[in-house]
Amino acid sequence: MTKKVQKTVGKQSQAAKWPAASPVATVKTAPAAGTKHISTPIGSSEFAEICLCPGDPLRAKFIADNFLTDCKLIQHVRNMYAYTGFYKGVRVSVMGTGMGIASSQIYFNELIKFYGVKTLIRVGTCGTMCAPEKTKLGDVVLAMGAGTDSSLNRMRFGGWDYPATASYELLRICDNIARDPKMGIAKQLKDSNNKCMVGNIFSADSFYGPKDHIQVPLLKKFNVIGIEMEASCLYSLANENNVDALGINTISDEIHMNGYDPVTETYADPANKFWYKDMPPEQRQSKLRTMVTLALETVVEWNKNKDKWASSN
């Protein structure tokens, strides 16, 4: 907090020079305020009911610049950009949420509770423990459910484990679009030797986890195909508030266990337990475009029947 300091002129403060209040005070209406994190006036219609939520605010800008028409910047506090525009005639917003549950849950909460957002689709990246047997760089993962090592869901759910799952109709529509040869997404994935799959993911609370050497083998054993840092929080908040949510992730990193023996649960080289394969920078833009197109085409199809499918009904 910044202290208010009175400027002085000589020995006399400026406060002493102010004129006395007039008998009839003029009341000025303050401009409508936003939250501490979003400057858009609370209750305004600046946000659309459907919002794409990348973690990176610059990815929000990229989506707005390259996919939306009649687009308007509606928030930039903390450089967490938000835009509203149109995709194929459907009004849609896109806003960055930051990295991890601690940051993203602030924005998910405020979008739902103060700005009337009823459908949130996370578009992000994830790692995988299941390469090369089941997954590879560039594959798209539709998160059916999301486990977590965060305590946030338990705190809100009375200390019990909450089954954090996507909205079924939203997931179904997205999966159908990804498989429909007429939509073009399936061809884009096939041409790049990739696929779209539905499965469970894991939202880690720490990027550099102290127990990764235990956690990663368990995730693979339980067929968790992706690891990221936001979806579990998004799903629990959406279900709690009767809105709809889906997480769409492009696999950007492969996590390989270096000489792990599942019988003895030991590594051949304890000092180098993992090796990683990252998506080359030149592939990121094209492969992320496929994911964003899939999300926006889902928005168009969802919008046709949202009054019938939406959880808020």
Q: Burial-class residue 182 by CB neighbours within 10 Å (0-12, 13-18, 19+).
A: exposed
Residues 170 and 152: their CA atoms lie apart, in Å, by 24
- 225 close to 141: Cβ distance less than 8 angstroms: yes
- 147 close to 164: Cβ distance less than 8 angstroms: yes
Task: Provide Rg for the chain, Cα atoms.
Answer: 23
- 61 close to 54: Cβ distance less than 8 angstroms: no
- 127 close to 219: Cβ distance less than 8 angstroms: no
- Which one of the listed residues 70, 244, 253, 269 is annotated catalytic? 253
Residues 53 and 225: their CA atoms lie apart, in Å, by 21
Distance between first and last Cα of the chain: 43
- 288 close to 281: Cβ distance less than 8 angstroms: no
The one-letter code for the residue type at 22 is: S
Q: Burial-class residue 117 by CB neighbours within 10 Å (0-12, 13-18, 19+).
A: buried
Give yes or no: 278 in active site: no
Nearest partner of 207 among 233, 223, 236, 230, judged by Cα? 230
Residues 302 and 18: their CA atoms lie apart, in Å, by 59
Residues 313 and 140: their CA atoms lie apart, in Å, by 30
Q: Which two tokens stand for residue 27?
A: 């009341």
* Sign of the dihedral defined by the CA atoms of residues 249, 284, 150, 271, in that order: positive
Annotated catalytic residues are 253
